[in-house]
Structures are given as C-alpha cells and as structure tokens.
Amino acid sequence: MGAISLKAVEKWFGDVEVIKGIDLDIRDGELIIFVGPSGCGKSTLLRMIAGLEETSRGRILLDGADVTHKVPSERELSMVFQSYALYPHLSVAENMGFALKTAGASKGEIAEKVGNAADILKLDEYLERRPKDLSGGQRQRVAIGRAIVRKAKGFLFDEPLSNLDAALRVDMRFEIARLHRTLESTMVYVTHDQVEAMTLADRIVVLKGGRIMQVGSPRELYEAPDNVFVAQFIGSPKMNLVSCTTEGENFFLGDGGTGPLPGPHQCGAVRLGVRPEHIEVVAPGQGQCGGVVQMSEYVGADYFHYVDCGELGRITVRLPGSAAEIEGQRVGLRFDTDRLHFFGADGQRM
C-alpha cells in the first residue's frame, strides 16, 4: 500500500511562497514523475512528502492517514538522493545493510534482505567492494539498494541519474523501470529531463513556479497539452508556435496562409502550435507557409531543418534522416491539420 494525497499543500520559506497550493492524488503502485525547470519546486515538494521539509499549509495523506506533521521515520517512505552519500569505509553489503543494522535487525535478516536487493540490482559480485572501487552506475545502484532493503510504502527519487553520463543514464533508466515492475511499489521520481519523464512515467506532473501546469500520461501531455508551457516543455525539438487568427472554420497565419480548422473555434487572436514531426516539406508556394531552410542538422535517424519563415519566425521541421538534403533551398511547409494545437492569448488550450 502506498497511496499519497496532497491537499492544497503550500511551502513558504519566510515570506517567499515556493509551493503554491498543490492538489494531487498519487495512486498505489504508480510511478509518477515531477518534471519542470530548475527552481520550480520539485525537490521541495518531494522533501515535503518525505517529511524532510515542513509543510506550511495543507495536508499530506499516506494511505488515507494524515502524516503532515509526522517525522520521516514514521512515514515509511524511502528516499534516494542525487548525491549517493555512501559510507566510503564500508563495503557495498555494509552500506546497503546499514539502516537495518541501526534498527536492530538480526544478522540473518540483514544478509537475506541485502542479498535480495543485490539480486534485483545485479550487485551480487560487488558486495565486498568499497564504493571507490565501483563505477558511477554501480554506486547509484548501491544507493538504490540501500533504499529498497527497508520496508517502505513508497520510494522517492530526487534526480537519481543526473550525475551519470548519457549512455549510463539510459541503462539506469531501464533498470529503474524494471525495478518498478519488480517491486510494484509507489515511486515518486523527480527530474528536469523531459525525456526521462516521458520514458519512465505512468503519469507526469509538470511543475512551473510552484504550481501544477498539467498532470497526465506521457501520451496525454504530448498529444493534448493544456497550455503553451507544457506544449513546449514536452517534446524535442520543441513544438513550433506561430501567431495566427481564426475566423469561422479557417485559420490565417501571419503571411496569409490558410487552412481548414480541425474543429469549431472562436474568432480571435491565437497561437497555433505544430510539432516539427507534423510538418511536411512541399514545393514553394504550396502548404500553409514557407521560407528558406537556414540550417539543417543531421542526427542519424532524423534531420532537423530550421526554416526562416519571415514574419512568422523560424519553424523547425523534423524529417527522416534518409530524406534529401535541403539546406539553403526555398520550400513550402504543409502542416498536418489533424495535429494542430490552438492556444488563446492567455496561453491556455482553446
């Protein structure tokens, strides 16, 4: 069991409000990810759930019980930090068993639980080594092992992979997904990396300035972002936004390009969002707009083309890496009208 509810939770540091009223229900067994730019309050919110940071207002419930003012040890949540903070003079086995030993567990029980965690994390071969004789990924696994030997209702991770190089991050991401499937426990995971969030999460919570911008599955956030912030935060390269006006069933771009609207829209000044992968390159004069390809980036599987569309600004187009080179050419751009996003002047989805 490990359902976590946040009810109108606020955090004030002196007279500065950092968490501005968060309501969220985290389901038992779910892997939920808090994502957002640096300073948006991810770590603070996680530490409030752990009990490491006092909650200024609102309530935190764990399986329905109010734990708002309980100390961390009474919450039965286990936390993994970005810095592994392993004891350098202890072996891997001793590091993982440390909390159990302090809690007075028997030698047999410690050996069994450490063995079990080592098995899950593939650390069996390294149990007698000191942390300095391990790679970064192995050290991170020990830090996770230390958290999972304890009986916990849920696991809290604060940017556990950000100290690892890119290749290792991908491996560890896979390990964490596997761990979640094995343990079937609630996991709350903080990252600033939207790719990590998209690949790992059951649901993502996008935060900005201490507020929730949207909660949803990775697919929901990608296909139906509630606002301009989420639209541009999720997805890489990011969604193009161009100013446009709508009238009846049609939209008009800055340079007069038109097209039928996917649904009824109110008349008014709006912004149109279109993802780089939902634009086709066509002959000049065709499509809804066009311009000159300023620069093309070849990244193997894909091309990213940056098209200077005059007063509309620069539009990014993503094409397969097998497509022809078009840098320097004048092109037309055709948007997939089934996959457009319209936002009002307030930045909210229309």
What is the contact surface with ligand ADP in residues (CB under 6 A)? Answer: 13, 18, 36, 38-44
Nearest distance from C-beta of residue 179 to Mg ion, angstroms: 21
Which residues contact Mg ion (rule: CB under 5 A)?
Answer: 43
Maximum distance among all alpha carbons in the chain?
Answer: 78
Tokens of 342: 């319209």
Nearer to Mg ion, 43 or 194 (CB): 43
Nearest distance from C-beta of residue 10 to ligand ADP, angstroms: 12
38 binds, among Mg ion, ligand ADP, none (CB under 5 to 8 A by kind): ligand ADP
3-state SS of 264-325 is CCCCEEEEEEECHHHEEEECCCCCCEEEEEEEEEECCCEEEEEEECHHHCEEEEEEECCCCC
Nearer to ligand ADP, 45 or 319 (CB): 45
Tokens of 43: 């770590």
Nearest distance from C-beta of residue 18 to ligand ADP, angstroms: 4
40 binds, among Mg ion, ligand ADP, none (CB under 5 to 8 A by kind): ligand ADP
The crossing angle, in degrees rounded to 10, of helices 166-183 and 107-120 is 120
DSSP H helical ranges for 121-204: 136-148, 166-183, 194-200
Tokens of 79: 């936390």
Nearer to ligand ADP, 41 or 216 (CB): 41
Tokens of 234: 């999720």
Nearer to ligand ADP, 80 or 281 (CB): 80
Nearest distance from C-beta of residue 187 to ligand ADP, angstroms: 17
18 binds, among ligand ADP, Mg ion, none (CB under 5 to 8 A by kind): ligand ADP
13 binds, among ligand ADP, Mg ion, none (CB under 5 to 8 A by kind): ligand ADP
39 binds, among Mg ion, ligand ADP, none (CB under 5 to 8 A by kind): ligand ADP
Residues 11 and 20: their CA atoms lie apart, in Å, by: 7
Nearer to ligand ADP, 211 or 349 (CB): 211
Nearer to Mg ion, 82 or 91 (CB): 82
Phi and psi for 260 in degrees, rounded to 5? Answer: -75, 145
Nearer to Mg ion, 157 or 306 (CB): 157
Cα torsion through 134, 137, 138, 143, rounded to 10: 120
DSSP H helical ranges for the chain: 42-50, 92-102, 107-120, 136-148, 166-183, 194-200, 218-223, 228-233
Nearest distance from C-beta of residue 43 to Mg ion, angstroms: 3
Nearest distance from C-beta of residue 42 to Mg ion, angstroms: 5
Residues 240 and 232: their CA atoms lie apart, in Å, by: 8
DSSP-derived 3-state class of residue 6: strand
Q: Which residue is nearest to Mg ion (CB)?
A: 43
Nearest distance from C-beta of residue 38 to ligand ADP, angstroms: 4
41 binds, among ligand ADP, Mg ion, none (CB under 5 to 8 A by kind): ligand ADP
